[in-house]
Amino acid sequence: MLVSPSESERLRSAFEEFIRAKEFPCVGAKSALSRGTLKTLVGWSIESAWDDLRLHDELMIWSNAYRSEPGLFRSLAVIFAQSGPLDEAAFEQALWDRLQSLADKDAWLGLPYDERVSADPINPHFSLSFGGEAFFAVGLHPAASRPARRFERPVIVFNLHDQFELLRQEGRYETIRETILERDERLAGSVNPMLARHGEASEAAQYSGREVSADWKCPFHDPRAAA
């Protein structure tokens, strides 16, 4: 076992406290934690493929469970216990390496891409797809420039894309978005320049938390994307 049970439990508790903190801006994550619908897994290293099969299995389980019982504020967080000295660019590359590996496994299994979203990372309707369900990924790590993304170990949080649509249908998306933006600005002292409204620009540039330029190219290609 690469990560001891005691260290796994410590990291889970630390991550929950990070989200529970008063200043943490994401009210969706807070809701998932309070409802018991935030699941945390502990893996080895974001720079290693060691846990990729297990993580893909968890994403398929998560997708199937959501289809059986849809609902808001459900997140799957993967904490990577081994943290090297990754700056923002290195973390971004490691994050996309893991996402690419997971997408390759999904495609190899012949699983369909969620038809409600695009597999093209430059498309405004892009999302990841695992087990036939679309996902939005949020990266956190020690060297993140935004305080809300700065945790002691690298983390990838997977959120179901369908939840954004449910919030829109309920008329709650804009209110929650504005609340998060205001809280994040209070925490960081500035507005996050990378946050766009869902469906207006590709979400891919938001995943790592690094501020990128308009000519940034996403280092990702799903095998199921149109040539």
Structure pTM? 0.93
User: pLDDT at position 1, please?
Assistant: 55
pLDDT tens by residue, 84-141:
789 999 999 999 999 999 999 999 999 999 999 999 999 999 999 999 999 999 999 9
Dihedral over Cα of 208, 210, 214, 219: its sign: negative
Is pLDDT at 200 greater than 90 in this prediction? no
User: Is the distance from CB of 96 to CB of 222 less than 8 angstroms?
Assistant: no
Q: Mean of the per-residue pLDDT values for the chain?
A: 89
- Hey, what are 45's tokens? 């290293």
Cα dist. 12→41, 44, 55 in Å? 8, 14, 16
What is the biggest distance separating any 2 CA atoms in the chain, rounded to whole angstroms?
Answer: 46
Q: Which residues in 153-176 are b (16+ Cβ under 10 Å) and which e?
A: bbbbbbbbbbbbeebeeeeebeeb
Is pLDDT at 170 greater than 80 in this prediction? no
Task: Return d(Cα 14, Cα 33) in angstroms, integer.
Answer: 13
Task: Return d(Cα 220, Cα 227) in angstroms, integer.
Answer: 13
pLDDT tens by residue, 50-97:
999 999 999 999 888 888 777 777 889 999 998 778 999 999 999 999
